[in-house]
Amino acid sequence: MVTLPKLNELGFFEIRLESIGGLGANLAGKMLAEAGVTGASLNGVSFSSYGSEKKGSPVKAHIRFCDNHTNIRDTSPVERPHVVGIFHESLSKTVNVISGIYEDSLVLVNSNKSPEQLKEKMKLLGGTIAVVDATGISLEEKNRTNMAMLGALFRLCDFLDPEAMKSVIRKSLEKKYPQAVGPALQTFERGFNEVTFQTFELPVGQQMPAFVRQDTPMLGYETQPMGGVITNPGNSILKDLSISRAGMMPHFADDKCIHCAACDNVCPDFCFVWEEQPDKKGRPQMFLQGIDYQYCKGCLKCIRACPTDALSSAREEDGYADEHRTPHRFDLAVH
Amino acid sequence: MSIDLSKEQAGLAKVEQRVVYESGNEMAAYAAHQINYHVMGYFPISPSTEVAQFLDLMKSNGQHDIVLIPADGEHGSAGVCYGASTAGGRVFNATSANGYLYMIEQMPVQSGTRFPMVMNLVCRSVSGPLDIHGDHSDLYYALNTGWPILMCRDPQAVYDMNIMALKVAEDAEVRLPVLVASDGYFTSHQKRKVQTFANREDVHQFIGAQPPVGYPDTLDRNNPITVGPYMNEPDYINNCYQQSMAMYNAEHVYDRVRKEFADLTGRDYPILDQYRMEDAEVAVFLMNSASEIIKDVVDQLRAQGIKAGSIAPNMIRPFPQRAIAEALKNVKAITVGDRADSYGGHGGNMVNEIKAALFTHGNRDTLVISRIYGLGGKDFYAEDGHNLFQFAIDAMNKGVVDKPFDYYGHTPGDPAKSPKRVLKPMKFEDLKTGLITVKKDEETGKLSVRIPPLRSLTKKPKRIAPGHGACPGCGIFSGLELFFKGIEGDIVALFHTGCAMVVTTGYPYSSHKATYIHNLFQNGAATLSGVVEMFWERKRRGELDHLNLQDDFTFVMITGDGGMDIGMGPAIGAALRNHKMIILEYDNEGYMNTGAQLSYSTPMGHRTSTSNIGSVRAGKVFHHKDTAQIMAATHIPYVFTGSEAFPQDLVKKAAKAQYYAQNEGLVYGKILITCPLNWLSEDELGTEIIDAAVGSCFFPLYEVEHGVTTITYNPDEKDKRVPIVEWLKTMGKTRHLTKPEHVETLNAFETEVERRWKILLAKHENPYL
């Protein structure tokens, strides 16, 4: 019989995974939960944020573990996690990924940054930051990020047996994809082994911030226009979608561009910024100015469409997008 | 009952049980596969869709014999089920929300003609602004349909109720269709430990291996029957009386069935679930998932010395009136939470039925507080449960209810954060560039279109703003904007339900810079017809003069291939009426917004979540729909196909489409677009995959102008014909077709593509074809 390290007042050990759709957090959460419930004689419940969230959009997975005598009644999202697993470091730009953590919670981040840097980035007051370069590992092992994250999560959830998980991975893959077994196990193993930890004590006199319920709306019945009508056309320009990029992005080389608009024709996210300028003969003509990375989801269709080398793909590096962004010049109603 | 998986309880079962860790939808499907229904007619809608998906997956591996019929909409699925149930076998369905309302006229037909079946209602909001999350507003519509309704608080109950439901439905005293209701997402998508019968034989032992005989059966050739006669007064009321009797019988039949079930399994579901009610002074009534959460609250209040309890029905049709009155006879105050409003009814349906129960059984003392909560999937936290109890405690202490009816969990909002306009409206002169010209040759009647180099068209503002939430590499938006590059001036757009709608209008954001309307995806063509005709009539009456419109609007309806399945009828209706509008279909070969189920446009052999690849069946079993030809047969002025892989071709067709939609009548166009997520293809390859689809002649580019077909790109002539396999191997959903074991399917598909291409070539050659 395994013992859960911490329990909340209802008897649950709670885990929340923060990710963007497409990185496999849902599957990782499912496997983690099953490892506890069917593999470790715990009871539990697991679910993901649901709806029409698409690939690249922020998603959450929720897992509650308890012993076999605890009644499971709660269906509300995990607001006060003992463990948070963050699959995409940049998420903290737009999502409060550490919402509701305790001062002794474990926060696992897929990153190659130091715990200090991440503490700063996430504005964490106290808690233990665990770092694993899951993206790096998965690229090296030619496997999926979620396997490395799953390995690391097993390290954090030391009441679960990583060997049992490995045999599940083996069993689920060996029949259909025997060649995938080795890399998957290696990725899991490295995720498990390569986690580094650093604990930050909550400064004396400070309190952990209270959580804001996930079902808190932006507007209300006094401020929301009647009938759900949106009277603010095109206000989605306020959104920052850069977190949807899962590692790759296009680079633009102005000097190689022939301004043919092939990229503009295929871009699903309207990232190309054009301006009318006089051409060599002084006639007005459209010229591509650059990419508005705020909306680029990194699909790289533009690179395939580009008949020259003006567009190329590159691993996303911190700061590049901000530095090289050509913002759209919207006709704003408010300045 | 809440699940308690301690070994002692599992030991109570008399027949072997096994434990699985699954969600509510998985358990509904699991029960159905054990029952081995004869027929399931279905149509995908969140959150119930998974039920059909799981059954399809099992079917593809030969795990059951249920004939799964993907209907053309929920109305169709209800029809399939009705027909099947008259024909003597066991019938199953699952739906939610708008899907349920779309089939609702069939519900009293099914119950009023007394054909048993079982349907899962995975409860979800029915709404104006589209909410896909869970509440009971669809369920409340079911209250008057004449179907007994069983309630499921967790995945265990979904499994158990599904098995009991059939036995109740088929009972001689009942003979009614039964609805099994669980909470969308909270129950349908949360995984729990669930006990199931280990052996199908034990399930059959319980329900009966075959449906009972001796009832009307439309396949009994020796006893011809007339089902559904024309029956007015004075007979109809007697039919209703029979039905009413059967409905009330369902209560004691259920009670008997649940006792037998409890005896077998140790899991008991009394008609009214009571938690710590023995000496309760205050109580809360909630249904399904929330009624579990409230038990934790009861425990906490009891620990504080408050005599709290909770009740929740396991059956609401028939309504357990006596049991509720009995349970509340010593309760001083109760808060009744309704997860749906009965607008204007001074309370939701449940609170009013509970008040009626108290009144009928002589209880004038218990104070009743009504609260509407948790609408549209708004979460229910233990904190909320405490607040609901507090209303009852306050009433008990004061001896009076301050506010008998209210909402709970609604928020006024901060005036400082009220919406402020971000963008100015697009300027007409920017949209009417003059770069595109369409002229009609008065002699030949042909249109000549001139478009500039596409570079120049980047000057035109995009109709859709960036910031929408589509997946990386989604083909919808590049396709739509390329089309819009060919449209000059103002548009009014109507989007059917689907990915394009969902990702551009997530409240409070909108990516639509021009005016946009959503309507449910069986009805967009009719809806836009209404807008179009209102425009022309108001223009005629001079009511739009003040706007100084420089040009007429171009009305564009955007739909996916799903919308052209369920909405085929209204689209044909609009076409036959020839309204001045464009219907543009983005075809990604499946119902992608609900999780990649097959559409009629999905080609043969392609894998979707309802055409799985298994050991006994691989991919879709029938050919793709030729929507362009169907629409061409309505003899509208202009039909076209296009793709982003051939941008000039698409822009020219858009320009023509606009001409016809402003001057003559309805235009239908189909663009094939990629869905990398569900085609299991690389994001970056989108344009090339479509190019190959065109090059293989699976998706020929052509137009039908006043009935005359012109192929606008002929890969044979250009020596660019691509073997179909080259296209299929670019996508994970079709890669299996390149393997020898699927060669038959591949050949059938190739033959069909070639046959349709040859027909098109013939039409291209002959203006009268």
Q: Per-residue DSSP letters for B264-325?
A: HHS----SEEEES-TT-SEEEE--THHHHHHHHHHHHHHHTT--EEEEEESEEES--HHHHH
Integer Cα distance of A233 and B515 in angstroms: 8
Q: Which two tokens stand for residue B492?
A: 């009014």
Integer Cα distance of B591 and B565 in angstroms: 10
| A73/B296 CB distance under 8 A | yes
In this complex, which of A10, A56, A260 lies closest to B471 when CB atoms are compared?
A56
Q: Please give the residue of chain A at the shortest CA–CA distance from B459.
A: A286
Integer Cα distance of B498 and B558 in angstroms: 10
Integer Cα distance of B263 and B273 in angstroms: 17
Q: How many alpha carbons lie under 13 Å from residue B358 in its C-beta half-sphere?
A: 20
Each residue of B171-207: pLDDT tens digit? 999 999 999 999 999 999 999 999 999 999 999 999 9
For residue B407, report the phi and psi dihedrals to the nearest 5 degrees: -90, 160
Interface of A with B in 128-167 (CB under 8 A): none
| A285/B455 CB distance under 8 A | yes
CA angle B165, B171, B173 (to 5 degrees): 125
Average pLDDT, stretch B416-432? 93
Residue B471 burial (10 A CB sphere; 0-12, 13-18, 19+): buried
CB–CB of B206/B264 below 8 Å? Answer: yes
Each residue of B553-578: pLDDT tens digit? 999 999 999 999 999 999 999 999 99
Q: Sort out which chain A residues have CB atoms less than 8 A from B129's CB and list them.
A: 227-228
Peptide bond into B47 cis (omega under 30): yes
Interchain CB contact of A45 with B (< 8 Å): yes
Rounded to 10 deg, the angle between the B200-207 and B24-35 helix axes is: 70
pLDDT given at position B619: 96
Count CB pairs under 8 A between chains A and B: 302
In the structure, what pLDDT confidence band is assigned to residue A335 with cuts at 50, 70 and 90? Answer: low
Interchain CB contact of A168 with B (< 8 Å): no
pLDDT given at position B481: 98
| Strand B39-42 with A127-132, pairing | unpaired
| Alpha carbon distances (Å) from A245 to A136, A194, A296, A297, B739 | 15, 24, 7, 5, 34
Interchain CB contact of A268 with B (< 8 Å): yes
For residue A306, report the phi and psi dihedrals to the nearest 5 degrees: -70, 120
Q: Sort out which chain B residues have CB atoms less than 8 A from A286's CB and list them.
A: 455-456, 458-459
Interface of B with A in 158-177 (CB under 8 A): none
Evaluate the CA torsion angle B544, B547, B552, B557 in order and state its sign.
Answer: negative
Q: Is the pLDDT assigned to residue A176 strictly greater than 90?
A: no
Length of chain B: 769
pLDDT given at position B11: 60
Single pTM value for the model? 0.96
Q: Which two tokens stand for residue A166?
A: 């490995």
In this complex, which of A52, A215, A333 lies closest to B379 when CB atoms are compared?
A215
Integer Cα distance of B535 and B553 in angstroms: 9
Integer Cα distance of B169 and B177 in angstroms: 6
Integer Cα distance of B722 and B125 in angstroms: 47
Give the position of tokens 């002929």.
B714
Each residue of B332-356: pLDDT tens digit? 999 999 999 999 999 999 999 999 9
pLDDT given at position B20: 94
Integer Cα distance of B371 and B410 in angstroms: 11
Mean pLDDT score of chain A, rounded to an integer? Answer: 93
Evaluate the CA torsion angle B207, B208, B214, B219 in order and state its sign.
Answer: positive
pLDDT given at position A53: 64
Contacts of B24 (CB under 8 A, 6+ apart): B122, B152, B154, B155, B158, B182, B183, B187, B188, B189, B190
pLDDT given at position A52: 62
Beta bridge partners of B491: B554
Q: By three-state DSSP, how is residue A107 classified?
A: strand
Each residue of B67-80: pLDDT tens digit? 999 999 999 999 99
Q: Which two tokens stand for residue A34?
A: 């099953």
Q: How many alpha carbons lie under 13 Å from residue A325 in its C-beta half-sphere?
A: 17
Q: By three-state DSSP, how is residue B450 classified?
A: strand
For residue B668, report the phi and psi dihedrals to the nearest 5 degrees: -120, 135
CB–CB of B274/B248 below 8 Å? Answer: no
| A233/B423 CB distance under 8 A | yes
Q: Sort out which chain B residues have CB atoms less than 8 A from A76's CB and list them.
A: 293, 379-382
Peptide bond into B508 cis (omega under 30): yes
CA angle A197, A203, A208 (to 5 degrees): 85
Rounded to 10 deg, the angle between the B24-35 and B49-60 helix axes is: 50
In this complex, which of B128, B454, B593 lies closest to A227 when CB atoms are compared?
B128
Interchain CB contact of B417 with A (< 8 Å): yes
Average pLDDT, stretch B722-730? 97
Quick one: which of A49, A70, A89 has its CA closest to A215? Answer: A49
Q: Is the pLDDT assigned to residue B1 strictly greater than 80?
A: no
In this complex, which of A225, A233, A264 lies closest to B512 when CB atoms are compared?
A233
In the structure, what pLDDT confidence band is assigned to residue B7 with cuts at 50, 70 and 90? Answer: very low
In the structure, what pLDDT confidence band is assigned to residue B31 with cuts at 50, 70 and 90? Answer: very high
Q: Is the pLDDT assigned to residue A51 strictly greater than 80?
A: no
Interface of B with A in 178-197 (CB under 8 A): 183, 185-187, 189-193
Q: Which two tokens stand for residue B661?
A: 């939609």
Q: How many alpha carbons lie under 13 Å from residue A111 in its C-beta half-sphere?
A: 26
Give the position of tokens 């609805």.
B179
In the structure, what pLDDT confidence band is assigned to residue B256 with cuts at 50, 70 and 90? Answer: very high
Write out the E strands in B428-479.
437-440, 447-450
Rounded to 10 deg, the angle between the B200-207 and B155-170 helix axes is: 40
- Shortest distance between the Cα of B236 and any Cα of chain A, in A, equals 40
pLDDT given at position B10: 54
Q: Is the pLDDT assigned to residue B462 strictly greater than 50?
A: yes
CB–CB of B283/B334 below 8 Å? Answer: yes
- Shortest distance between the Cα of B318 and any Cα of chain A, in A, equals 26
- Shortest distance between the Cα of A213 and any Cα of chain B, in A, equals 9
Contacts of A283 (CB under 8 A, 6+ apart): none
Q: Sort out which chain A residues have CB atoms less than 8 A from B646's CB and list them.
A: none
Beta bridge partners of B274: B311
**Secondary structure (DSSP) of B603-632:** PTT--BTTB-B-SS-BS--SPPP-HHHHHH
In the structure, what pLDDT confidence band is assigned to residue A177 with cuts at 50, 70 and 90? Answer: confident
Q: Which two tokens stand for residue A114?
A: 């130091």
Q: Which two tokens stand for residue B621?
A: 């079993």
Integer Cα distance of B180 and B188 in angstroms: 12
Interface of A with B in 4-23 (CB under 8 A): 10, 21-22
Which residue would you say has higher pLDDT here, B285 or A179?
B285
- Shortest distance between the Cα of B631 and any Cα of chain A, in A, equals 27
Rounded to 10 deg, the angle between the B236-265 and B200-207 helix axes is: 140
| B468/A236 CB distance under 8 A | yes
Q: By three-state DSSP, how is residue B469 classified?
A: coil
pLDDT given at position B3: 41
CB–CB of B271/B360 below 8 Å? Answer: no
Interface of A with B in 269-328 (CB under 8 A): 269-272, 274, 276, 285-286, 288, 292, 294-295, 297-301, 303-305, 313, 328
Q: How many alpha carbons lie under 13 Å from residue B722 in its C-beta half-sphere?
A: 20
Q: Is the pLDDT assigned to residue A331 strictly greater than 90?
A: yes
Average pLDDT, stretch B584-613? 97
Integer Cα distance of A307 and A309 in angstroms: 7
Q: Sort out which chain B residues have CB atoms less than 8 A from A71's CB and list them.
A: 2-4, 295-296
Residue B541 burial (10 A CB sphere; 0-12, 13-18, 19+): exposed
Interchain CB contact of B51 with A (< 8 Å): no
The H helix count followed by the E strand count for chain A is 9, 11
pLDDT given at position A174: 84
Integer Cα distance of A77 and A14 in angstroms: 10
CB–CB of A269/B478 below 8 Å? Answer: no
Each residue of A106-131: pLDDT tens digit? 999 999 999 999 999 999 999 999 99
Q: How far is CA B255 from the centre of its chain?
A: 33
Mean pLDDT score of chain B, rounded to an integer? Answer: 96
Type of residue found at A37: V
Integer Cα distance of B300 and B296 in angstroms: 6
Q: Which two tokens stand for residue A124?
A: 């964490």
Integer Cα distance of A302 and A296 in angstroms: 11
Q: Which two tokens stand for residue A285?
A: 């003509």
* Substitution target from B407, B427, B484, B511 for chain A, most A beta carbons within 10 A: B511
Point out the least confidently predicted range of B41-45, B383-387, B440-444: B440-444
Q: Is the pLDDT assigned to residue B284 strictly greater than 50?
A: yes
| A272/B129 CB distance under 8 A | no
Q: Please give the residue of chain B at the shortest CA–CA distance from A276.
A: B459
Query: What's B376's DSSP letter?
Result: G
Point out the least confidently predicted range of A166-175, B365-374, B438-447: A166-175
Q: Is the pLDDT assigned to residue B117 strictly greater than 60?
A: yes
pLDDT given at position B4: 42
Peptide bond into A268 cis (omega under 30): no
Percent of chain A residues past pLDDT 70, beyond the cut: 99
Q: Is A314 left (phi over 0), alpha (psi -120 to 50) or beta?
A: beta
Q: Please give the residue of chain A at the shortest CA–CA distance from B9.
A: A69
- What dihedral angle (degrees, nearest 10) is formed by the CA atoms of B233, B234, B238, B244? 40
Residue B648 burial (10 A CB sphere; 0-12, 13-18, 19+): middle
